[in-house]
Amino acid sequence: MPNITLTTIKQPEIYLNVPSVGLNDRTIQERLRKILQGMAQQNFDSLVVYADKEHGGNFEYLTGFIPRFEEGLLVLHKNGEAVLVLGNENLKLAQFSRTPAKVVHAPWFSLPNQPMDTALSLTDVLKQAGLDGQQRVGIAGWKLFTGNHDNNSSLFDIPTFIFHALQAALTPECELLNATGLFISPRNGARIINNANEIAHYEYGANLASTAALTALNAIDLGKTEKSIAALLAAEGQANNVVTIAATGDRFENANLYPSDKHIQQGDKFSLTVSYKGGLTSRAAYVVSSADELHPYVKDYLDVVAIPYYRAVVSWLEKMHVGVKGHEVYELIERVLPKDEYHWHLNPGHLVADEEWLCSPIYPASDIPLSSGMLLQIDIIPSRKGYAGASIEDTVALADKALREQIKTDYPELWQRISARREYISNVLNIQLHEDVLPLSNTVGYLRPYLLNKDLALACQ
């Protein structure tokens, strides 16, 4: 296992004012083709894709937008015809859908007390969308319902009023099935594999989050407020896909989830998280300059929490390559950072996209091979009673030679950033990445356990 030391090293480079990369028409057409092929394989006549602000990724995958503060449906038929079912304030977005679609109005999806004048029922509207006479229809929400259920395909995570209207629109003989896996199954979902255009699109968010996070880490000082640090995490007006965290001392006091006016004090635990489409960056450590400034009962934090955690992250990074199976990664972390001792309980790594957590191929007994085009977030969460946590969550992509060459050709500036990040990880942190691993975050592998000392960080010897 790697030998870890606390040493003086330079900080990673950050990249400001990086242009966004839009999804091109070819990518949208490829996305639609993958979903239609999946529908054909499962013999679906039609697919109903649900969306709201929190759960719009599958809808957005084909349309390019989410229905914001309303619900929305995308009805996709096996012949490729698409119909959008939208509330009052999203009707105007239908004309911009990246997948051309007809539109029908469902005022029930609108905000309370808005006009709902219509002679039609929701069942009638769904029939207008072409849901009438099908034999087999898939419903895509956002959950896979993995576990020990007898029949996961008959569990649905859409509002009851929509589900009942669907049932009424279709014949009793029509089979309704959970089809979320078409999009996000970690084995064969359409969204788990990204092309060069998609990787460039999502790298924008990973770069943005890691740049903002390092800027905020460098601003942490005694007497400042959580809000003053959190303000540095609000980057380029982009929408966050998780709640932003800048928390000093004990988190969640008075059930508060958000940055407050609390002042940073010496010896505080500190948690920081920011995430945009394509990548989250998270850090957790102590507000001190050295171990001498820690409370006596946590003076051994470096040896008890930070170094064992960092060793697990290094092992994770050096294990990653196309073809490694999910169970191999899980077993590696169990071996290096035993769950019984460090009390992590989620998947040690998962996929990202528009959502911070898409799905995960990393779990016990998973025979799913990690594939070229996957975007993975380092997500190992240790917990030792009485101690602060440790966290360096960031995002990497996996890319085989063909995909790497495509990125290098189509997005040379992106390739330069990736190459510089790899060089830093290799030459400064002494972490040896497989050539398949492309860091999308600037701070991959960078951990400062003592936040007031900007020069000290952990590295491999």
- The Cα-based distances of 383 to 213, 309, 339, 362, 391 in angstroms read 22, 10, 9, 20, 11
The CA distance from 298 to 287, in Å, is 13
pLDDT in tens, 8-29: 999 999 999 999 999 999 999 9
**Cα dihedral 359→364→368→369 (10° resolution):** 100
Write out the DSSP string of 53-86: SSS-HHHHHHHS---TTS-EEEEEETTS-EEEEE
What pLDDT, on a 0 to 100 scale, did the predictor assign at position 151? 58
> Which of 143-152, 225-234, 319-328 is predicted with the least confidence, judged by mean pLDDT?
143-152
At residue 119 the predicted structure's pLDDT band, cuts being 50, 70 and 90, is confident
The CA distance from 441 to 394, in Å, is 6
Superfamily of domain 43-178: Creatinase/prolidase N-terminal domain (3.40.350.10)
The CA distance from 297 to 395, in Å, is 33
Percent of the chain scoring above 90 in pLDDT: 94
Q: Map residue 309 onto helix, strand or coil.
A: helix
Q: Map residue 137 onto helix, strand or coil.
A: strand
Mean pLDDT of 308-312: 97
Mean pLDDT of 125-132: 96
- The Cα-based distances of 29 to 34, 72, 82, 361 in angstroms read 9, 21, 13, 26
pLDDT in tens, 33-66: 999 999 999 999 999 999 999 999 999 999 999 9
pLDDT at 332 over 90: yes
What is the CATH T-level fold of the domain 4-18+191-460, as seen in this structure? Creatine Amidinohydrolase (3.90.230)
426-459 burial code (b ≥16 CB/10 A, e <16): eebbbbebeebbbbbbbbbbbbbbbbbeeebbbb
Mode of pairing for the β-strands spanning 437-439 and 279-286? unpaired
What pLDDT, on a 0 to 100 scale, did the predictor assign at position 147? 66
Mean pLDDT of 250-272: 93
Whole-number mean pLDDT of the chain? Answer: 96
| Domain chopping of the chain, boundaries | 4-18+191-460, 43-178
What pLDDT, on a 0 to 100 scale, did the predictor assign at position 377? 97
Run of H or E residues at 177: strand 175-178
The CA distance from 46 to 82, in Å, is 10
Q: Which residue has the higher pLDDT, 256 or 39?
A: 39
pLDDT in tens, 344-373: 999 999 999 999 999 999 999 999 999 999
pLDDT at 150 over 60: no
At residue 153 the predicted structure's pLDDT band, cuts being 50, 70 and 90, is confident
The CA distance from 132 to 166, in Å, is 9
The CA distance from 14 to 215, in Å, is 9
pLDDT at 117 over 90: no
The CA distance from 300 to 110, in Å, is 55
At residue 428 the predicted structure's pLDDT band, cuts being 50, 70 and 90, is very high
pLDDT at 149 over 60: no
- The Cα-based distances of 382 to 304, 325, 339, 434, 441 in angstroms read 11, 22, 8, 25, 21
> Which of 146-150, 152-156, 224-228, 280-284 is predicted with the least confidence, judged by mean pLDDT?
146-150
At residue 154 the predicted structure's pLDDT band, cuts being 50, 70 and 90, is confident
pLDDT in tens, 366-385: 999 999 999 999 999 999 99
